[in-house]
Every structure is written in C-alpha cells, then in structure tokens.
Structure 1
C-alpha cells in the first residue's frame, strides 16, 4: 500500500490524493506536522514540504512530479490526454492553479486564516485576506470563461487540470471562501467533480478548530 505524508488542507496534497484515488491506488494517510521540522520527516524530504509519498519502494516528493509519475506508471484511467497540444493545455492550467492561483488566492486566504493558527505564526494579515478575496473573483471568472467553451477546464474530458483546480477550491470551500453564486457554470463543474468517488476521503476531512460549512460535503450543494 502507498503511504502519503500530507496535511488535510494542502491543495498540493489534495491533488495527489485525488490522482491516487482516481487510479484506485490504496493509500495510507499520515498527517505530517511539517512545520516542526521533525528529523524523520526531513530524511524523507529535506525540503521539509508535503506531500511526500512512498510508492513502488520509492520515496517521492513534489506534487507535480508525483502526479506525472502516477500517470506514466498507471496510465488508466488517464488524467493526461495523448495529444501534445492537449497535454500542454493541461500542464499550463495545473501550473496556473499551483502557481498563480496559489500566490493570488490560496496563500492569502487559506494560509492566513488557517495555517498561521495551526503553526502558531500569529493572526491573519487583514490586507492579505482582502487581496485574496478580491483575486478569487478574477480566477472564478477565468474558470467560467474556460467552461463556457469546454466541458472540463482543459477540454472535453476530465484531466489533472480539473483536479488541481478542485484541490485549491475544496480547501477554500472548507473555510467558506468561495462564492459559488458568482458563476453557475463553475458551480456545476465543482458539483460534478466533487461527486466522484475520488473526492470521498477529502470531503470527510476534519481540521481541529475549523468547521466546514454545511454544503461542503453535500454532493448536491
């Protein structure tokens, strides 16, 4: 069985969890307090970051590299298209969410509201929270524009791009920071993706001191 060292409200960990679950790989979840710089954990990943997964006798880190490895070693069901241009679009969008969306939104909402409290780094920076709340509107509008033209974010089939986006949004939804009324097409997309079996363990997550809204685990919103 695979073993994943993770943090429940990490979008990068959630992206890997979704990929593992979609490919029906059983995984033992180990919650890791990475900020404590435990020597055993640092031996697994000297960068001191999660996710870290043990699979096929190997210890692997970095969510993008892990997901690419899963795709290459467990190609069914596919989360990357075969066409090079389509693969590029998936990679572009994964990078968009893990880089730009993370910088603009996740780090300013989730990290300020939750991570600072959990890691004992003080109180949220109100300016960062305000900037994140403003930026998420732009990103939701961009997603709506994509979904007006496509069935899924990167094209006509679900891909890793959808999991990357859903990983970030599910973390933010846990703390009620997503305005699902802003776009019906984005809300429909999220309802569709969170109803997949791969999402079950994520929707069951509970973080001490933080209670999700009633709709969080409701497949019908």
Structure 2
C-alpha cells in the first residue's frame, strides 16, 4: 500500500470518529429546536412559593389602600399616677370631618393623613415612662363610610418635660395562612409629666412596706419593753433592791 493510500485511509477514519461523536449532540439540538406538535399544551408553570404568594397579596392590598385620616388625643400635660384615656380613630376621607367628634379623654385631638386599608392595627408605646393598657383585640375593620376606634388607658410612671409616646399604625394583610403588616410612619408626641409626691410615697410604701412594718415593730417592741419596765419598777421598786 502506498503512502498516499495510507494518508487517505487515516483521514477517512478520523472523519468517521468525528461524525460518531457529533451525531448525538446534533440530534439533541434538532430536538430542542423542533416546534411543538399542533394542539400540544404548554408546560404548566411551577407553583408559586409562599414568599411569592405573600408578596403578591401585599401588592394587591397596597393597591387597594386609599388616603384617609387618623385622629388621636394625648394630653399635652399629665401627672404621675393619674390615669388618662387616649382615643385613636382611623377612617377614610368621607368620614374625616367627624373623626374627632366626642373622643374619650381630655386631650386636644390631632388629625393627620395616612394610608388606610380594610384592616388596621394600632400600637401605642411609652417605654418605661408609661404603663399602657390597650383595647383587645388591637385589630379593627375599616368599613366604607365608617371608622375604627381604639381606646388606651395610659398611666404615667416617670416625671419629665419630654416623655415620649409613640403611635405605630399598620395595615393588616392575611396571606397564605399567615399575617403580614404594612407599616405606616411612626407618630410621636412629647408629654410633660408632672411630679406627684403622694404617688411617690404610695409607691415607696408598696415596695418597702415589709421593711417599714418590721422597723415599726422593733420600735414598738422597744417602747413597750421600756414602759413595762417602768411599770414594774413603780410597783416593786428597781430591780436588785433588797426588800
């Protein structure tokens, strides 16, 4: 066999091996590129995750939110140990003019603009300076043409010129079996809380009454022992005297 023939045979063998290696890949590409049969259904999209469902529900609720008003009436001045009522109302624009009518509590009502949803939650926080007892439950439905109302009982515990109350408002959304909250900007109010010395004495008594009674018992026992000794000496003479 000549040298030329050997070269040709080698080239043909190399081409055959290359064709064997490329054939499966070309077939796969042609299969992917081929159009779907007429009438075949498109593959179903994957199911939404809980996070995607919650996000879609939040977007839908945000789209339904409308401009409304919130009215609240914290007193500008309070006194330690004297409980005050603070009312909070939320409604859409159609009831804004009546929102602050006849609110429980002596504070001057304040009205501000917020975004209102179908279900709202309100939280009032005063840190360690106030003891706050809220209404239960804290969620309210806001019907069309109506309003939601919350009543808080607020007891000042610490005196000061700038004791702070924080009012947090949320739109509540129920998504995929769990609760989500859309928060509104926090509203703040500075309160001047005056000293109440009678309250301070009462709190001191509540905290230390056992020590006070223990000390008082010791003093009374000492006085009683002294008086008993004087009475005995008056009747029988000083101890140690001979008859």
The bucket for the TM-score relative to the shorter chain is under 0.3
Higher relative contact order (CA 8 A, sep 6+): 1
Per residue, is there more strand in 1 or in 2? 2
Relative to total residues, which structure has the larger helix share, 1 or 2? Answer: 1
TM-score, structure 2 as length reference = 0.19
TM-score (norm 1): 0.20
The structure having more radius of gyration, on CA atoms, is: 2
